[in-house]
Amino acid sequence: MDIIQAIQQRRSIREFTKKRIPANVLKTILECGLQAPSSKNSNPWFFVVTKGKTKNQIAAWIEENAKSRLVRGPTDARTGKMAEGAFDSTAESVTTIRSAFAYIIVFNRGPLSGGKDEVLKNPRGGRSLYTYMGEIIGIGAAVQNILLAAKSFGLGAVYMADSYPAREAVQKALNTKAEMVGSIAIGYPAYSPKPRKIEKRLVTTWETAKKKGIRMDNFTAMRF
Ligand SMILES: Cc1cc2nc3c(=O)[nH]c(=O)nc-3n(C[C@H](O)[C@H](O)[C@H](O)COP(=O)(O)O)c2cc1C
């Protein structure tokens, strides 16, 4: 499969068969993550691979802690309430993690910004806000490399922010201050969805943007 096909056909996969992923395949996929570009070549990521009981323990932490209203999301930053059109996907994500062969925890080491807590010390974000954004963009690139490498091996995967409710338990268990930004469930797909429709109006030229502006629609969540 060439890279363009992998990009065009990749979908988030949330249910997996019991087939095991060979160790060398998983290793190659993770190394594709490490190949991603990052600000100042800072390699802000850190990946921890879990399987079996450990993976299911994390799913249980998510399930347990998501019961608390404080960590339910996504919320609208302006009102603190569940964003309009949004839905809580935690329960589905827990089922996905249980079904996956492996579950990869994605950390930001914060090599440039010092991490989220450092950014929050400055009410206006300061310089560290931009370096933090750079870290997260690099991690996004690494995640996408992993998703596409998985696709090219005939595997399925999904990136999940829904790991958030387990972040403190994970940090404590691994005795780390590194920030858990998300996670990836991966395995052989139990189904094959069609390629997703893309929103072509979200790309334009400079001239058209000057004339018609940039689309600024509010939160638009679509059920998957
Ligand atoms: C930052 C981010 C967070 C996401 N969090 C979740 C999640 O917690 N649970 C989930 O099932 N999917 C999650 N997804 C996957 C999106 O729902 C999915 O990419 C989107 O619906 C588009 O579908 P597609 O990936 O099949 O093209 C997340 C994706 C991103 C980029």
CATH number of the domain within which 135 lies: 3.40.109.10
> 203 in a domain, yes or no?
no
Residue 224 has pLDDT above 50, yes or no: no
> 43 in a domain, yes or no?
yes
Q: How far apart are CA 179 and CA 186, in angstroms?
A: 21
Distance 158 CA to ligand 1 centre (A): 7
> 76 in a domain, yes or no?
yes
| Domain of 17, in residue numbers | 3-195
> 205 in a domain, yes or no?
no
> 221 in a domain, yes or no?
no
- Does the beta carbon of 14 lie inside 6 Å of ligand 1? yes
Q: How far apart are CA 29 and CA 79, in angstroms?
A: 40
Nearest residue (by CA) to ligand 1, atom 15, is 159
- Does the beta carbon of 12 lie inside 6 Å of ligand 1? yes
Could you give the C-alpha distances from 16 to 3, 105, 156, 179, 187, in angstroms and in order? Answer: 23, 18, 8, 28, 6
Tell me what pLDDT residue 142 has: 99
Q: Tell me: the pLDDT tens digits for 150-166?
A: 999 999 999 999 999 99
> 201 in a domain, yes or no?
no
Tell me what pLDDT residue 124 has: 75
- Does the beta carbon of 91 lie inside 6 Å of ligand 1? no
Q: Tell me: the pLDDT tens digits for 2-49?
A: 999 999 999 999 999 999 999 999 999 999 999 999 999 999 999 999
One DSSP character per residue, 77-100 reads TTTSSBPTT----HHHHHHHHHH-
Q: Tell me: the pLDDT tens digits for 54-112?
A: 999 999 999 998 876 554 555 666 666 666 555 678 889 999 999 999 999 999 999 99
Residues with Cβ within 8 Å of 174's Cβ and at least 6 positions away in sequence, in order, are 48
> 209 in a domain, yes or no?
no
Label residue 208 exposed, middle or buried (CB < 10 Å: 0-12, 13-18, 19+).
exposed
> 117 in a domain, yes or no?
yes
Computed over every residue of the chain, the mean pLDDT equals 90
The confidence band for 219, taking pLDDT boundaries of 50, 70 and 90, is low
Q: How far apart are CA 115 and CA 128, in angstroms?
A: 8
- Identify any residues that bridge with 106 across adjacent strands, giving them in sequence order: 47, 182
Nearest residue (by CA) to ligand 1, atom 25, is 12
What's the number of domains the chain is made of?
Answer: 1
At 157, give phi and psi (nearest 5°): -160, 160
Could you give the C-alpha distances from 183 to 47, 101, 163, in angstroms and in order? Answer: 9, 13, 6
Q: Tell me: the pLDDT tens digits for 163-200?
A: 999 999 999 999 999 999 999 999 999 999 999 988 88
- Does the beta carbon of 94 lie inside 6 Å of ligand 1? no
